[in-house]
A and B are shown apart, each in its own frame.
Chain A
Amino acid sequence: MKLHDRGRIIAGILVFLIAATFPFWYGKGRTIAPPDLKLDTPAIAQLSRKLCVEPTPYMRANHMKLLVAWRDSAVRNANRSYRAADGRLYTISLTGTCLGCHSNKTQFCDRCHDYAGAKPNCWSCHITPEEVR
């Protein structure tokens, strides 16, 4: 079987393969340090027990699901209280409860979201303490 324009086709395939696999071999062997999340806000310093709404591993993996559940609960069902798994009661509020402790959005939320390439659009409407003039 004869392959027309063999040189160009093979060169094109090679260029494509190099470009498509570039991120893999370019980043090979390099380790990007995980983000350094700051938990040293005044509100957290005052807590007697350093506990988030739910245990830290759960929050790390599922905070987005919790926030969506909170959003639907507050907006759609007008229910603004949340009973944590261990019985503590929280007010459902992103800016009040979450940012009440994590008042350093740029050093907490953003660092991990940038690292993970996540682009949540919460902040196009919700106001962070750092923004209040």
Chain B
Amino acid sequence: MAPTRREFLKIAGVSAAGLLLPPWAPLAAGQSPNPAVPPAAGPLPALTARRWAMAVDAAKCRPGCTDCIAACHAAHNVPDFKNPKDDIHWIALEKVGHVFPAEAHSALPEPLRALALPVLCNHCQNPPCVRVCPTKATFKRADGIVMMDYHRCIGCRFCMAACPYGSRSMNYRDPRPFIAKLNPEFPTRTKGVVEKCNFCEERLARGLFPACVLACKEKVLSFGDLEEPGSEVRRVLERGFSIQRRPELGTGPQVYYRL
């Protein structure tokens, strides 16, 4: 027999009152967290920002020094094929005339013309590589980092064609045998994927600044939140005039150079 109206309302009232009770105590007691497990990705809290940016105080760069490259490539298992055709780099050194083709002219002082600047992914505000990627393997995070999901990369190299800075490299061969020393903290890549700088996203998650920034003894590289007044990168940029690589393209590069 169907319940009467009075019975139905009674059941509904008791059920609604049950929602207000605290969770059943014996059930909750069995859920004590395991203290042996670390609570975060690392010992330090993750670093966060609204827009990560880097400043390169190139005048301080020591000629012939490759500390930033060595630190980055060791940290990220970047292979060395010893062959410019297959070259893979996350950070590299380039002559001023190549980095700033519009600004460099023949009357520049010789030391400036000979200067090699660190170049890396500019983590553009309007990244053309993200726009062309057919699988969304390359994407832009809310904090401005242009990141790659190597799981999704199909190796079409549209991003390499789109990037006006040559920041991307393709693994034409299996990189594993060409990595001098494997860093177990970071994966390698596989044949047929494109790779590039990730602003040390995996280190930021553990509360560490990028490997290149920490490796530079001359403090050429500074890193921080561009939208945070007083951040390291803002303090460096406030010292004087700085330029971006080819801003006329509208990509909004987030690596700033002081020359």
Q: Bound complex: CA of A132 vs CA of B189, how far in Å?
A: 15
* A31 interface residue (CB < 8 Å to B): no
- Residues on B with C-beta less than 8 A from A93 are 41
Knowing A86-B31, A132-B182, A133-B181, the reply to whether A91 touches B201 (Cβ < 8 A) is no
- Residues on A with C-beta less than 8 A from B77 are 127
Residue among A93, A95, A125, A131 with max Cβ neighbours from chain B (10 Å): A125
Q: Bound complex: CA of A132 vs CA of B187, how far in Å?
A: 12
Knowing A125-B190, A127-B187, A133-B181, the reply to whether A88 touches B139 (Cβ < 8 A) is no
Say yes or no: B36 contacts A48, CB within 8 Å: yes
What class of interface size applies to chain A in its complex with B?
Answer: 20 to 34
- Residues on B with C-beta less than 8 A from A87 are 31-33
CB proximity of A80 to chain B, nearest CB, Å: 4
CB proximity of B18 to chain A, nearest CB, Å: 23
CB proximity of B43 to chain A, nearest CB, Å: 11
Q: Bound complex: CA of A81 vs CA of B37, how far in Å?
A: 11
CB proximity of B9 to chain A, nearest CB, Å: 36
Q: Bound complex: CA of A95 vs CA of B19, how far in Å?
A: 42
* B213 interface residue (CB < 8 Å to A): no
Say yes or no: A91 contacts B41, CB within 8 Å: yes
Considering only residues 67-114 of chain A, those with a C-beta below 8 Å from chain B are: 71, 75-76, 78, 80-81, 86-93, 95-96
- Residues on A with C-beta less than 8 A from B165 are none
Which of B108-116, B122-130, B144-152 contacts the other chain?
Answer: B144-152
CB proximity of B181 to chain A, nearest CB, Å: 7
Q: Bound complex: CA of A126 vs CA of B201, how far in Å?
A: 17
Considering only residues 27-71 of chain B, those with a C-beta below 8 Å from chain A are: 30-34, 36-41, 46
Residues of A within 8 A of B (CB): 47-49, 51, 71, 75-76, 78, 80-81, 86-93, 95-96, 121, 124-127, 129, 131-133
